[in-house]
Amino acid sequence: METVEKTVLHFERLLEESTNTHGHLCPGQVLGVKMSLCGLKKIGIEDPKGRDRKNLIVFVEIDRCATDAIQSVTGCSLGKRTMKFMDYGKMAATFINLKTGAAFRVVAREDAREKARAYFPEIQDKYEAQLEAYRLMPDDELFDVSEVRVTVRPEDLPGRPLQRVRCAGCGEYVQDMREVRKGGRLLCKACVSGGYYSLKNFFCGSIMQKSHNDMQIRSKLWIEIEGEPVFGRGRRFLLEAIDTYGSINQASRSINISYRKAWSYIKSMEERLGIKLVERRAGGRNGGGASLTQEAREFLENFSALEQGIRDIVDERFGNIFKGGPHV
């Protein structure tokens, strides 16, 4: 009896801590706490925030209330690289003991919702009934539990980044081996498949560094012929978007300009630079396909190298003159 009471008190304490972190008490909090206790027990982790903290990784499959509860109970988090988010939209989590290799996936049962009503038929509000019932229901009524095999790659483990490279497209740095090699270049995933964002003022991009006292240096590089701008970062991004999507139409949409403007930029660059940049394939309402020529790829590589060289010079000179050095 004393053991049961201790177990209940332990659960209620964890639920209270989780609720304080999450901001409110809900059925998802109860499920997340009980899911964590179930998973930790299965993989033999007794002290997730203490002596076992370096042995635990959790994969969560939904960005809902239960995930906050799992983080609260286990101490795992994205920042510590001990929680991995898999955007599956499922109320499920996989708990892994790195020391033993044990791994169990815990999935909330769909029929637990209906069973909750049977526990408290007098409660009219279904969410309130779930909240109370989930506290009492045994794990086998709440969850399906499966032993699984998960291979955690070295670059996904906690610790310092194994690699840090500069994207040949946007110039931003990519950590933890998330870069993609395409056409002989290392690119970030956003440049390869399109990011979740687009620049509001796409053709106004500039290089910016900041000193220790918040002074800022901005530099922008472009190529002119007879005093007229011909090529810069914006038009470089247009060509790289064409290389990514294989379509002028999709490329122009990805950088928030019209197809007409994109095509005018291409024609202007080709005429002024004297090289063929884009090969078009006719057909279809989307304007057919398009690809970069070898000359265009070589030109892009040379411009990127030039831009990086200018950035390095500006950074060094700015740091030397204004002291304290620039930082991003």
State percent of the chain over pLDDT 70.
87
What is the model's pLDDT at position 72? 97
- Tell me: do 109 and 207 sit in the same domain: no
In single-letter form, the type of residue at position 69 comes to A
| In-domain check, residue 186 | no
Query: Quick one: pLDDT band at residue 282, thresholds 50, 70, 90?
Result: low
**Average pLDDT across the chain, whole number:** 86
- Tell me: do 108 and 226 sit in the same domain: no
Which of 104, 122, 156 delimits the end of a domain?
156
C-beta atoms surrounding 72 within 10 Å: 24
- pTM for the model stands at 0.63
- Tell me: do 6 and 125 sit in the same domain: yes
- Encode pLDDT of 292-322 as tens digits: 999 999 998 888 888 778 877 877 787 777 7
| Chain centre to alpha carbon of residue 272 | 40
State percent of the chain over pLDDT 90.
50
* Contact status, residue 68 vs residue 140, Cβ threshold 8 Å: no
Distances (CA, A) of 310 to 26, 237, 296, 306, 314: 55, 18, 21, 6, 6
- Tell me: do 68 and 214 sit in the same domain: no
CA torsion through residues 237, 241, 242, 248, sign: negative
Supply the range of the domain harboring residue 56: 2-156
CATH number for the domain spanning 227: value is: 1.10.10.10
- Encode pLDDT of 155-211 as tens digits: 999 988 888 888 887 778 899 999 998 877 888 888 887 778 766 655 444 444 454
| In-domain check, residue 80 | yes
- Tell me: do 135 and 75 sit in the same domain: yes
User: What is the total count of domains within the chain?
Assistant: 2
- Tell me: do 141 and 14 sit in the same domain: yes
What is the model's pLDDT at position 73? 97
CATH number for the domain spanning 40: value is: 3.30.1330.130
| In-domain check, residue 291 | yes
| In-domain check, residue 167 | no
- Tell me: do 137 and 55 sit in the same domain: yes
